[in-house]
Chains A and B, each alone.
Chain A
Amino acid sequence: NAGVTQTPKFRVLKTGQSMTLLCAQDMNHEYMYWYRQDPGMGLRLIHYSVGEGTTAKGEVPDGYNVSRLKKQNFLLGLESAAPSQTSVYFCASSYPPAGPDYGYTFGSGTRLTVV
């Protein structure tokens, strides 16, 4: 089925460890996004990309890096995990940057715990 796929679904990290979250979409969407969701809060934008090879900072970018080497993939990296990064991470994509407005398509999330 077409959509946004996130891997892994769950992960436990120790403080200081690194990891990469993968987001893949097969809808040929130009825009991709990484959000985090914390209890009692809405989603906050970490980084986003408006096309292959481009990335930009969102509202809460510190401690994260991203790459968009291929149009269909958007990677989120944590170089040195901290307990404050315990959260549920959602990837989303949208199409296109101009023309009629469309809603975003979200992945099912990655639940990350940093101990």
Chain B
Amino acid sequence: SQQGEEDPQALSIQEGENATMNCSYKTSINNLQWYRQNSGRGLVHLILIRSNEREKHSGRLRVTLDTSKKSSSLLITASRAADTASYFCATVLFSGSARQLTFGSGTQLTVLP
């Protein structure tokens, strides 16, 4: 079963605007990660936020985490056409020696020039 659920499923914005994607999850986590997938390609790791962190920045990316609400958001500022891709959140829960990523179904972002 999928742990994370992204919202919205699809988002279309103009270049220069900000894009916000949300992720909700069901169980406790050790960290939450966001990945980007360009059409026909593999996933690329964007940013990781630990369960004891509330906000993290990386370039034009800002991630927030609210463990009480079991939710996270990814903000991409000043979007570019090259940001067009699918974005996935993934949660990690350590269990013994196991360390697995569980993915949501993704948000398809289209940035119009």
Contacts and interface: CB of A to CB of B under 8 A. Distances in A.
Interface of A: 4, 31, 33, 35, 40-45, 48, 50, 56, 58-59, 90, 92, 94, 97, 101-109
Interface of B: 1-2, 4, 30-31, 33, 35, 40-46, 48, 50, 88, 90, 92, 97-106
Nearest to A111: B40
Given A42-B106, A101-B48, A106 B99 contact: no
A44 to B, nearest CB: 8
Contact of B100 (A42, A48, A105, A106): A48
A49 B97 CA distance: 10
A94 B35 CA distance: 14
B76 to A, nearest CB: 17
Nearest to A105: B45
Chain B contact surface mostly:
strand
Given A40-B105, A48-B100, A101 B30 contact: yes
B105 A42 contact: yes
A42 B88 contact: yes
A47 B29 CA distance: 20
Contacts of A40: 105
A31 B105 contact: no
B53 to A, nearest CB: 11
B51 to A, nearest CB: 10
A109 B90 CA distance: 18
B2 A94 contact: no
Given A59-B1, A103-B35, A106-B35, 11 more contacts: A41-B2, A42-B88, A42-B90, A43-B103, A59-B102, A92-B43, A97-B97, A103-B46, A107-B42, A108-B41, A109-B40
A41 B105 contact: yes
Contacts of A48: 98, 100
Given A50-B98, A56-B98, A97-B99, A43 B48 contact: no
B92 A43 contact: no
B104 A109 contact: no
